[in-house]
Amino acid sequence: MNLWNRIKLAWFLFWNRYEAAQTWSPDYSRLPGALVDARFDITCASRQEIARKARYFEKNSALVQRLCELFTIFVAGPTGLTLLPNSSDKEWNTRAKKYWNDWQNFPDLNSRQNLGVLQGLIAWTWCLDGEVFIIKTRGRTREDNRVFPRIQLIESHRCSTPPQRVMDEGKSICDGIEMDENGRPMAYWFKESSDSQDFRRVDAANVIHVFEPTRPG
């Protein structure tokens, strides 16, 4: 191979590359970032700051309100999702449907909203904050003191690591979510209110974490 062909080959090999694989070039600015596990991508402070800004635009932007409204309609529908028992036992279906209708009229521990309204609220909060927590709990009726299953909605800013567990952050607990040795959630820590330093530990079996995972872990 003559010298000219060697020069051409070297030139082609130099340009035969992935532009995205170049760490720096004078032709474009450097993109900050690092390859880390998903749970190290964002801190509690960063997550809450992003949620704060999202809620600001919800309060002050008609466009954001409309986007949340459309998301809610397409996820939960105008009146919520409908559940219909469909077993082979028609009598059981009738009794289950009656029980479900009675329960969904008053499912919330903290309000008198029906299940359709709560589904819309879950979808709206999910769209805005990126997540919402549902605690499976129980409540009593005022009439005969009977116990019924209830749900309680918790906003994302109330899930955080309590002060007494801060030394375990990134090890056995990550931003309010307590994990086992495999990284599976064992429990969630919730502030009792925004202005309180009292935390409640809820077993993961009693928590539905509504969010859309985008990365493993």
Give 90-126 pLDDT, tens digit per residue: 999 999 999 999 999 989 999 999 999 999 999 999 9
Closest of 180, 22, 198, 181 to residue 189, by C-alpha: 198
Whether the CB-CB separation of 57 and 64 falls below 8 Å is answered with yes
More confident site: 57 or 5: 57
pLDDT of residue 143: 72
Q: Output helix, strand, coil percentages for the chain, rounded to the nearest 5.
A: 45, 20, 35
pLDDT of residue 212: 93
User: Using CA atoms, how far apart are residues 213 and 123, in angstroms rounded to an integer?
Assistant: 15
Q: Is the pLDDT of residue 70 over 90?
A: yes
Token pair listed for 35: 């390859």
Query: What element of type H or E holds 148?
Result: strand 147-154
Whether the CB-CB separation of 162 and 175 falls below 8 Å is answered with no
pLDDT of residue 39: 80
pLDDT (tens digit, 9 = 90+) per residue, 168-203? 988 899 999 999 999 899 999 999 987 878 999 999
According to DSSP, residue 79 is labeled: S
User: Using CA atoms, how far apart are residues 118 and 210, in angstroms rounded to an integer?
Assistant: 13
Instruction: Please give the model's pTM, rounded to 2 decimal places.
Output: 0.84
